[in-house]
Amino acid sequence: MAAKRGDDKAWKEFISWCGERGLKAVPANPWTLAAYARWSERHHPYPTVAKNIEAIARVHHTKTRKRLDRYPMVTSTLSLIETRAKAKKSAKDKQAALFPEDDILERQATGKGKAGKTKKNTGTAKAVKGKGKKTAKKKTGKAMSASPKLVSRRRLKS
């Protein structure tokens, strides 16, 4: 009886969704069920979406003898939703940590870590020979400055 209750709930949600959009729920077009699945993707997790589509297809089958869940459009939409759900889950699992694990372990082992190491001068300041005097020329990166650049206002000619 629990499966029938789940079917009824999914069917009623599908009926109200179709009614809000002016679509026919019985007999439903496979496109309608695929569109409903895409809408459900934003409101339910993938396993719930798949169960609801199966439940709607069972109820629809008892009313019209049409198996909507077997149409290629519906099956490809469900597989697309499943793929996106798996990708989203794996992205959550692989989120970057605030601090790299090897950095933390190295700091614990040596007491220094990557921040404690010093780098050799890579030539950021070079001596340039000019008219008899030496001046230091620094390479400037394309980083943003903390203060805005002042620009003079120009008067437009009328």
Query: Which residues form the domain of 59?
Result: 30-85
Rounded Cα–Cα distance for residues 58 and 63 (Å): 9
Percentage of the residues of the chain whose pLDDT score is greater than 70: 54
What residues does 128 pair with on adjacent strands? 135
Domain-located, residue 24: no
Domain-located, residue 102: no
Domain-located, residue 69: yes
- Choose among 77, 46, 74: nearest CA to 60: 74
The pair of structure tokens assigned to 152 is: 């003079």
Q: Are 61 and 67 in contact (CB under 8 A)?
A: yes
Per residue in 101-149, pLDDT (tens digit) is 666 666 666 665 445 454 444 444 444 444 555 555 555 555 555 666 6
Question: Looking at 24-33, 87-96, 124-133, which range is the least confident one?
Answer: 124-133
**Could you give the number of structural domains in the chain?**
1
Q: How much is the pLDDT for 48?
A: 92
Write down the pTM of the prediction. Answer: 0.55
What SS3 class is residue 97? Answer: coil
Rounded Cα–Cα distance for residues 18 and 34 (Å): 12
